[in-house]
Structure 1
Amino acid sequence: MIRVLENEFYYLDNFQRVLDWIGERYRDLLVDEELAFIEAFPALPQNARALFVRMVMRKGHLFRASKLIYAEIGCPVEASSHLLGTGWVEADPVVSLDELFELLSKPEIAEAFGPQLATLQQKNARKGDQLEALRPACLDGQPFSQWHPKCGDLALRILVKPLCDRLRLIFFGNLHQDWTEFVLSDLGMFRFEQVELSQASRGFRSRADVEHYLRLHDCKERFYAGEALDEVLRDLPSHVFDNDWLVSRREKLLFQIGQGFEKLKDWDNAHAVYTGCRFPGARGRAIRVLEKHERFDDAYALYQLAQAAPESEAERQHLSRIGPRLARRLGHARLPARRAAAVERLDLCLPMPGGDWWVEGVVREHLAREDAPVFYVENALANSLFGLLCWRAVFAAIPGAFFHPFHRGPADLNSPDFHQRRTAEFAACLAELDDGRYRDTIRRNYQEKAGISSPFVYWGALTEELLELALACIPAAHLRKWCERILADVKANHTGFPDLIQFWPNEGRYTMIEVKGPGDRLQDNQLRWIDYCAAHGMPVAVCYLQWEQAA
């Protein structure tokens, strides 16, 4: 059972921690409005500050005092009175009819608009239908108290949510993390690695970075809301940012816009977007769009450029499929097929079990022996071994990687230069595979870092038994190959591992097994991992399961 936080003003203290942190580390980036807020906020009475933070943490901008009852704050009307002179909160604000319907219950609406609803024959209608019926006659907004004089409640509007969102952005480096990060950390639900943060670790280096992020975020929200793609693209910042992780965010959104044009079969705009995009996979999509547009010569020319220097294994795999098709279309000589490494095939025909079951579990139970246990690991084992061995490299305090205390991993984790920026650190970790030190390092980090959030370590899946069997049966050379491939492209290569692993501890060996049930097929990332393991002499098999037919 989670222990209740003893400090009833924990949320206020956490909010103040953010303000202090920003004031100390980012003062040179703040505008006058933000500086004035940070200076003025601590001077207010505690109950007023607490009420303000409660409103900041809740959704929306409009609140009723009767809905802001908190034991530690006391009377919300009295607390709010200290906020009214700040310009941050407005009492009895002008609200639209739509906003009013958000604040009032259905009985209150009936009380406020009874005669009108009766005339419109909407007295017993749904709330949404009542709103539609009243809207033509109630186009102008007015203070809450005038809409419903008998209510007796006080409405409050918080005016500085955008300012608070900017401060939250500056602290976290994103807008998807919020104030609950503090609470979850205080409750022990999440633990984070303590990284030494310096001035060089700041996520935002200039005020322009903050403004660029906000513009990108606005474009992304409009894109997800379904706004016209050309309008979103028009407002997308086009200049080069002096900030790598902002560049990555822009390129990802640009790629998504290209996909949007592609879905609309707007081949010209899709091709133009992909051509100007550096997000992984954009060149491959550009070739595909040219093919769909029947610009086969252009598609083949771009294919040849890509074939000469593929950006990744994923692109090489894509090219191996599209190239022969384009060559046939243009009447070129047949392209030689790339032969995949031989992989062991295991065919099983088993009776379908009763009750609850899953395909991988059925195969695991069938293959397991007392002297050869089988574990369902999928992506958990390889990533965890990598994360434990390379813990100090993953959490190295290099500029722009960590800039607040609640990082589950480096901010640039999925960037193409993730490994390059930490070459020396990862080299030192992998060197331990050459002299046997890696086992002690992995065991030590498994004990000392237990439960600390990591982008690689699956704490819930990695038992001590599984860890010890892996260290005993997986050669260091194989573990090195796994690590090297993960580092080559973290985003693409941290998934796709085989489902099961079987150990023969008496013989010091293992086999990875990908399981496919009836009608299932290997996914692209799985094919790439299986091919990689087979090519480097790592034991891997694909098990195809069929169910026995009833007589």
Structure 2
Amino acid sequence: MNKVLENAFYYLDNFHQVLQWIGERYGDLLNEEERAFIDRFPLLPQAARALFVRMVMRKGVLFRASKLSYAEIGCTHDAAQPLALEGWIEHDPELSLDQLFDLLQKPEIGRLFQLVAHEKAARKAEQLEALRERHEGSHRFSAWYANSGDHVYHVRAKPLCDRLRLIFFGNYHQDWSEFVLSDLGVYRYEKVEFPPSARGFRTRRDIDEYLELHSCRERFREGEHPLEVLASLPPAGSDNEWLASRRQKLLFQMGQQLEKLREWDGAFRVYRDCSYPGARSRAIRVLEKDEQIGLAWEWLRKAQEAPESEAERQHLLRMEPRLRRKLGHVRALARKPTPVARLDLNLPMPVSEWYVEGVVRDHLAREDAPVFYVENTLINSLFGLLCWDAVFAAVPGAFFHPYHHGPADLHSADFQRRRAAQFAACFAQLEDGRYQDTIRRNLVLKHGIQSPFVFWGVMDETLLDLALSCIPAEHLKKWFERILADVKSNRTGFPDLIQFWPAERRYNMIEVKGPGDRLQDNQLRWIDYCAHHNMPISVCYLQWAE
């Protein structure tokens, strides 16, 4: 039987697992409040601990006792008493009118405030706006709603628990539901070794810096002006590469917002000091928009000497003709892209439900030449299956806990370099033929385990057999090398369809474009790359017959 169904307190066990993990691995980084909580929490009665975790797992910090009905806990009021004595929750807190409205249902509002007929019919937000003029200040719930027969609890220790969750996961986007989904078998995770060097946070300063960055990120997302947020952005205070990458991403996002606001000087200064991929080409574009053409040209020429990626090279090539023209320079000869086979189809529009790629797939498919809609799934999956051990290598800063969907440094510029030996061992299998056995074995052994590359819903033995039979190892190697060169950019942009001719052991990749659709930048880069390396690829342009 499933663990969740067997054990009514599974969520409490999970919470204890987190506390134990943090205590063992991060004990030297915890502050006094965090250490005291980890020491004291296991000593409370089970019902009190369970109630606390139930509230922590839910959104918000204010809860009505009547909404906290759990059979395994029993009387909520009794369970809450030890928590109040510890100061982790507050019973009957003072509430603003807005907070009260979040807790009350609409009929209760009508009774409590004696609303007239048209006010009762109004929306809750309109009721709140009207009552703000009559009720000021904060009052305890028992004073607002004396005859409710209910209690309200304020979880004062929620920020503390959020910090502990951060220390465990290394981010704020994963929450306690990861445990539940794992218990239910919805998510399965690769088992990775966790040496002391693999800690996400190495010093207390790392934790504090993350919290400061998170606060700035939230202010920015809520609409505060980027330059105001930037003024309080903490300086890079550690050598933690993972933290530094988060800081650079936030800087890049603030630069983009300043661009939208047409604040060219501010945007340029942010991009100038930002190392996030794409920041340099954006800086050049901002200089161009600000009509600082000479400086933009200087930056472009310097960037062309050592482009950071194919994506940047593409952007630079696009900007160069404009800047040359504005400066009156001689027009440079553009490099012509490698010719790509073109397929034009004129088909009747289907009557039933359809999508463009599916229409082309069904039209081209033959019994001896099946066609599959794979887009980004097939090549990524083959890469992920062959390089499974390299992707999940326990290098420092890659995995902090047992619930990682993939390495934390997946999009870092040095992702491949830090695993160079492991990836070299995987690629060697493409040379001696062992790669097929490794891919087939991992398809079975790792099936369903979370991976940033493998799409389990698409990969099956039929597709795998055709791919391994028809795609040469040297083509796989070229694809895999390009993915590793820039994981963030090159995991996408693959052609939509692949057609196999099993009897001839060959294949063709097909990018499909419907009426009015055009090739995107990352698609153009993949098409040019494949054509340049003599890998079969074509672009299909579909038009609907009159």
Structure 1 and Structure 2 fold alike (TM over 0.5)? yes
Aligned partner of 1:214 in structure 2 is 211
1:421 and 2:424 aligned: no
Counterpart code for 2:266: N
**With structure 2 as the length reference, what TM-score do the two structures score?**
0.98
For residues 89 and 41 of structure 1, the distance between their equivalents in structure 2, rounded to whole angstroms, comes to 13
1:500 and 2:497 aligned: yes
Counterpart code for 1:126: R
Aligned partner of 1:149 in structure 2 is 146
For residues 130 and 374 of structure 2, the distance between their equivalents in structure 1, rounded to whole angstroms, comes to 58
Contact 1:320 1:338 in 2 (8 A): no
1:8 and 2:5 aligned: no
Deviation at 1:132, TM superposition (A): 2.2
Tell me the percent identity.
Answer: 67
1:237-294, Cα deviation, whole Å (9 max, x unpaired): 2234311111111101100000000000000000110001000000100111111111
1:356 aligned counterpart, secondary structure = coil
Equivalent of 1:241 in 216, 238, 241: 238
For residues 244 and 382 of structure 1, the distance between their equivalents in structure 2, rounded to whole angstroms, comes to 29
Equivalent of 1:230 in 218, 227, 230: 227
Equivalent of 2:309 in 286, 296, 312: 312
Equivalent of 2:513 in 516, 530, 533: 516
1:288-340, Cα deviation, whole Å (9 max, x unpaired): 11111111111111110111111110011111110011101110011120111
Counterpart code for 2:143: Q
Deviation at 1:4, TM superposition (A): 5.6
Counterpart code for 1:43: L
Deviation at 1:149, TM superposition (A): 1.1
Counterpart code for 2:72: E
Aligned partner of 1:67 in structure 2 is 67
Cα 1:121–1:515, aligned 2, differ >3 Å: closer, same or farther? closer
For residues 366 and 460 of structure 1, the distance between their equivalents in structure 2, rounded to whole angstroms, comes to 24
Aligned partner of 1:362 in structure 2 is 359
Deviation at 1:150, TM superposition (A): 1.1
Deviation at 1:105, TM superposition (A): 2.1
1:84 and 2:81 aligned: no
For residues 17-32 of structure 1, what are the structure 2 equivalents within 5 Å? 17-32=17-32
Deviation beyond 3 Å, 4+ runs, structure 1: 1-4, 120-126
For residues 113-124 of structure 1, what are the structure 2 equivalents within 5 Å? 113-114=113-114, 117=115, 122=119, 124=121
Aligned partner of 2:531 in structure 1 is 534
Equivalent of 1:272 in 269, 275, 279: 269
Equivalent of 1:126 in 94, 110, 123: 123
Aligned partner of 1:463 in structure 2 is 460
For residues 456 and 254 of structure 1, the distance between their equivalents in structure 2, rounded to whole angstroms, comes to 27
Counterpart code for 1:407: H
Cα 1:430–1:70, aligned 2, differ >3 Å: closer, same or farther? same
Aligned partner of 1:479 in structure 2 is 476
1:5 aligned counterpart, secondary structure = helix
Q: Could you tell me which runs of 5 or more consecutive residues in structure 2 were left unpaired when the two chains were aligned.
A: none
1:181-210, Cα deviation, whole Å (9 max, x unpaired): 011001110100000111111111011111
1:49-106, Cα deviation, whole Å (9 max, x unpaired): 0000111011111111111111000110111112111010111111111111112223
Counterpart code for 2:75: C
1:102 and 2:99 aligned: no
Contact 1:346 1:542 in 2 (8 A): yes
1:531 aligned counterpart, secondary structure = helix
For residues 378 and 140 of structure 1, the distance between their equivalents in structure 2, rounded to whole angstroms, comes to 57
1:152-189, Cα deviation, whole Å (9 max, x unpaired): 21111110111000000000000110111011001110
1:83 aligned counterpart, secondary structure = helix
1:85 aligned counterpart, secondary structure = helix
Aligned partner of 2:260 in structure 1 is 263
For residues 287-326 of structure 1, what are the structure 2 equivalents within 5 Å? 287-326=284-323
How many residue pairs were aligned?
Answer: 546
For residues 2 and 32 of structure 1, the distance between their equivalents in structure 2, rounded to whole angstroms, comes to 38
Moved more, 499-508 or 125-134: 125-134
Equivalent of 2:331 in 331, 334, 338: 334
1:82 aligned counterpart, secondary structure = helix
Cα 1:22–1:2, aligned 2, differ >3 Å: closer, same or farther? closer
For residues 110 and 355 of structure 1, the distance between their equivalents in structure 2, rounded to whole angstroms, comes to 50
Counterpart code for 1:505: P
Moved more, 352-361 or 137-146: 137-146
For residues 210 and 35 of structure 2, the distance between their equivalents in structure 1, rounded to whole angstroms, comes to 20
Contact 1:84 1:91 in 2 (8 A): yes
Equivalent of 2:372 in 372, 375, 381: 375
Aligned partner of 2:383 in structure 1 is 386
Contact 1:240 1:247 in 2 (8 A): no
Counterpart code for 1:195: V
Contact 2:3 2:183 in 1 (8 A): no
Contact 1:259 1:270 in 2 (8 A): yes
Cα 1:371–1:123, aligned 2, differ >3 Å: closer, same or farther? closer
Aligned partner of 1:164 in structure 2 is 161
Contact 2:167 2:207 in 1 (8 A): yes
Equivalent of 2:201 in 204, 211, 214: 204
For residues 351 and 132 of structure 2, the distance between their equivalents in structure 1, rounded to whole angstroms, comes to 58
For residues 538-549 of structure 1, what are the structure 2 equivalents within 5 Å? 538-549=535-546
For residues 502 and 118 of structure 2, the distance between their equivalents in structure 1, rounded to whole angstroms, comes to 79
Cα 1:85–1:476, aligned 2, differ >3 Å: closer, same or farther? same
Deviation at 1:2, TM superposition (A): 8.4
Counterpart code for 1:317: Q
Contact 2:341 2:537 in 1 (8 A): yes
For residues 506 and 112 of structure 1, the distance between their equivalents in structure 2, rounded to whole angstroms, comes to 78
For residues 16 and 144 of structure 1, the distance between their equivalents in structure 2, rounded to whole angstroms, comes to 32
2:515 aligned counterpart, secondary structure = coil
Contact 1:307 1:316 in 2 (8 A): yes
Deviation at 1:111, TM superposition (A): 2.9
Counterpart code for 1:524: D
Contact 1:51 1:80 in 2 (8 A): yes
For residues 221 and 418 of structure 1, the distance between their equivalents in structure 2, rounded to whole angstroms, comes to 28
1:398-441, Cα deviation, whole Å (9 max, x unpaired): 11101100011100000010001001110010001111011111
For residues 346 and 161 of structure 2, the distance between their equivalents in structure 1, rounded to whole angstroms, comes to 60
Q: Could you tell me which runs of 5 or more consecutive residues in structure 1 were left unpaired when the two chains were aligned.
A: none
1:456 aligned counterpart, secondary structure = coil
**With structure 1 as the length reference, what TM-score do the two structures score?**
0.97
